Every structure is written in C-alpha cells, then in structure tokens.
C-alpha cells in the first residue's frame, strides 16, 4: 500500500495539533495545581507615603574606565577601531 503525500501532510498536521493541544492543557492543569499547593500569599499592601525618587545624578567614581569599556564594546560590535569612536555624553536609562 502506497501512502500519498496528502495523507502524510494531514497526519503530520493533526499530530502536531493534538500534541500542542495536550501541551496547553497540561500547562493549564499544572498551573492550577501549583497555585493550589503554593499556599495563600498575602498581597503586598501599598504604603501611605510618597514613593522616594532615585538620586538625581550620582557621581561615577571610575567614569573614564566605564567610557573606555563601552567604547571597546561598541567598537567590537560595529567591527571598527576603538579610536574611531567618541562618546560625548551618557544618560542613565531606567
């Protein structure tokens, strides 16, 4: 008996569909089991006071070394020489 291309395609897609459906069901069931046995965690209550802000601009003690390390990393990524890179300013992104 010869197996046709259409039969192989349909069987492959159906096995994949059934496998992924089983994986989703197992994930949902395990999530519920873990949630039940995880214990009742109390939610974190918000404080009444204002949230303290981060310090404005902390001085970096070894700023030149940091700039040199960033320059080397950029030069390596771009595939150029370190002397061709000049960092003019840095901002902390948060």
First to last CA, the chain: 65
Q: What pTM, to 2 d.p., does this model score?
A: 0.39
Q: What is the pLDDT of residues 26-71, one digit of tens each?
A: 999 999 999 888 765 656 666 666 655 555 556 778 888 988 898 9
pLDDT per residue as tens digits for the range 8-23: 999 999 999 999 999 9
Q: Give dist(CA 25, CA 30) in Å, integer.
A: 9
């Amino acid at each position: 008996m010869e197996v046709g291309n259409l039969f192989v395609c349909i069987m492959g897609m159906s096995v994949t569909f059934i496998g992924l459906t089983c994986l989703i069901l197992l994930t949902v069931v395990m999530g519920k089991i873990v949630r039940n046995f995880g214990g009742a965690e109390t939610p974190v209550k918000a404080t009444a006071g204002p949230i303290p802000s981060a310090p404005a601009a902390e001085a970096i003690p070894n700023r030149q070394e940091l700039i040199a390390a960033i320059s080397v990393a950029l030069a390596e990524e771009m595939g150029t020489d370190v002397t061709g890179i000049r960092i003019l300013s840095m901002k902390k992104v948060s």
